[in-house]
C-alpha cells in the first residue's frame, strides 16, 4: 500500500524510513509507504525574523537595547533538519554573539551614529551558514539602538547643560560686545570733541595772530604824521572830557606846544 504527498512550490520533502533520512523530493507529487515512511516538509522561501530587546554593552560600559530584523532562507534542508536540533535558534544566538562583539568594541556615541557600519560588519561576521546550519542570512538590519533609561536621562541632562552653557556664553559675548561698542562710541565722541576744540583754538589763535600781524604791518607802513594825528585826536577827546589833568614829560610838552591845534587843546584843558 502506497501513500502520496504533494510538496508545494518552493518547498522540499524529506522522506524518512523508520525515522532515518532516506531521500529528498522536490515540489510536486511524491509517493511513500505510510506505515514505514514519513515525509517532512521544509520551507525554502525567505523568512523574516525579528530579534527585539536584546541588551548589549558598549566599549564605555553603556547599556543599549537593540532591535534587529533579518531575512534568511534554508539552503540545505537535510542539514537544517537533522544536523541541528534548532537551526534557527542557533542562528539567532550566532547573530547576537557577533552583535555583542561588534558593539562592545565601540563607544556609545559611535554606536548611535554608525548603525549602517554595524549592519555591514554584522553581515560580514555572519557570512554563509549553509555548511553549519543549512541556512543563508540574506539581510540583517539594526532597526533601533536605544540607550537605557538612566543613560538617556543623563544624555538629556548633558544636552540641556550644553544648551544652557551655549546660551550663557552667547549672552555674555553679546553684552561684552555691546559694552565694547558703547565704550568705543563714547571714546570716539570724546576724541571728536577734543579735536574740534583743538581746531577751534588753533583757528582763534591763527585769527589773532593774523590780526596782530596786519596791525603791525599797518603800523610799520604808517608815517609820523599818522601818529601825530592820532595824538591830536586824543587831545581833542581829552578836551571834551571831564578830565583836567594831563601828565606829560617836558620834552613832550615842548613838542606838542609847537602844534597850534594841540596848544589850543591844552589851553582848553587848563581853563577847566
Pairing of strands 135-147, 128-129: antiparallel
Grid cell digits, residue 145: 539602538
Q: What is the pLDDT of residue 71?
A: 92
User: What is the distance between the alpha carbons of residues 102 and 178, in angstroms, rounded to a whole number?
Assistant: 52
Phi-psi region of 45 (alpha: psi -120 to 50; beta: other; left: phi over 0): beta
User: What is the distance between the alpha carbons of residues 8 and 24, in angstroms, rounded to a whole number?
Assistant: 14
Helix (H, G, I), strand (E, B) or coil at 246: coil
Cell 554606536 belongs to 111
Pick the CATH number of 47-147 from 3.30.479.30, 3.40.366.10, 3.50.50.60, 3.20.20.70: 3.30.479.30
Cα end-to-end distance, the chain, whole Å: 181
Full pLDDT tens readout for the chain, 272 residues: 678 788 888 899 988 888 888 888 888 888 878 888 888 889 899 999 998 878 888 888 888 888 899 999 999 999 998 888 898 998 898 888 888 999 888 888 888 888 888 888 888 888 777 778 889 888 888 888 887 666 655 655 666 666 778 778 887 888 888 888 888 888 888 888 888 888 888 888 888 888 887 777 776 666 666 656 666 666 666 666 665 555 555 565 555 555 555 555 555 555 55
Kindly give, in sequence order, each residue whose CB lies less than 8 Å from that of residue 151, ignoring residues fewer than 6 positions away: 62, 63, 64, 108
Q: What is the pLDDT of residue 182?
A: 84
User: What is the distance between the alpha carbons of residues 228 and 235, in angstroms, rounded to a whole number?
Assistant: 11
Kindly list the domain boundaries of the chain, sorted by start residue: 3-43, 47-147, 149-221, 222-271
Q: What is the pLDDT of residue 155?
A: 59
Helix (H, G, I), strand (E, B) or coil at 237: helix
Taking a C-beta distance cutoff of 8 angstroms, is the pair 67, 51 a contact?
yes
User: What is the distance between the alpha carbons of residues 218 and 234, in angstroms, rounded to a whole number?
Assistant: 19
User: How far apart, in Å, are the Cα atoms of 73 and each of 11, 87, 119?
Assistant: 11, 11, 19
Taking a C-beta distance cutoff of 8 angstroms, is the pair 145, 111 a contact?
yes
Q: Supply the pTM of this predicted model.
A: 0.52
Kindly give, in sequence order, each residue whose CB lies less than 8 Å from that of residue 48, ignoring residues fewer than 6 positions away: 69, 70, 71
Q: What is the pLDDT of residue 172?
A: 84
Taking a C-beta distance cutoff of 8 angstroms, is the pair 58, 111 a contact?
yes
Please report which residue ranges of the chain form alpha helices under DSSP H. Answer: 77-82, 87-103, 108-113, 115-126, 130-133, 149-221, 224-239, 250-257, 260-271
Amino acid at each position: 500500500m502506497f501513500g502520496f504527498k504533494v510538496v508545494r512550490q518552493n518547498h522540499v520533502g524529506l522522506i524518512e524510513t523508520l525515522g532515518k533520512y532516506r531521500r529528498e523530493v522536490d515540489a510536486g507529487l511524491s509517493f511513500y509507504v505510510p506505515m514505514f515512511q514519513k515525509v517532512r516538509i521544509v520551507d525554502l522561501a525567505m523568512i523574516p525574523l525579528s530579534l527585539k530587546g536584546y541588551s548589549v554593552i558598549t566599549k564605555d560600559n553603556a547599556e543599549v537595547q537593540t532591535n534587529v530584523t533579518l531575512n534568511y532562507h534554508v539552503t540545505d534542508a537535510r542539514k537544517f533538519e537533522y544536523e541541528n536540533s534548532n537551526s534557527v535558534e542557533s542562528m539567532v544566538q550566532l547573530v547576537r554573539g557577533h552583535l555583542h562583539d561588534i558593539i562592545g568594541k565601540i563607544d556609545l556615541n559611535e554606536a548611535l551614529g554608525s548603525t549602517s557600519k554595524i549592519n555591514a560588519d554584522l553581515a560580514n561576521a555572519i557570512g554563509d551558514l549553509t555548511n553549519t546550519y543549512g541556512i543563508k542570512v540574506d539581510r540583517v538590519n539594526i532597526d533601533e539602538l536605544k540607550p537605557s533609561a538612566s543613560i538617556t536621562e543623563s544624555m538629556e541632562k548633558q544636552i540641556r547643560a550644553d544648551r544652557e552653557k551655549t546660551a550663557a556664553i552667547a549672552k555674555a559675548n553679546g553684552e561684552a560686545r555691546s559694552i565694547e561698542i558703547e565704550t568705543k562710541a563714547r571714546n570716539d565722541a570724546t576724541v571728536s570733541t577734543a579735536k574740534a576744540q583743538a581746531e577751534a583754538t588753533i583757528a582763534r589763535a591763527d585769527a589773532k595772530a593774523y590780526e596782530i600781524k596786519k596791525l603791525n604791518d599797518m603800523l610799520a607802513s604808517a608815517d609820523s604824521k599818522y601818529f601825530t594825528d592820532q595824538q591830536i585826536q586824543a587831545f581833542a577827546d581829552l578836551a571834551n572830557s571831564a578830565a583836567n589833568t594831563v601828565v606829560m614829560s617836558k620834552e613832550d610838552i615842548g613838542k606838542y606846544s609847537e602844534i597850534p591845534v594841540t596848544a589850543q587843546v591844552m589851553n582848553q584843558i587848563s581853563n577847566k
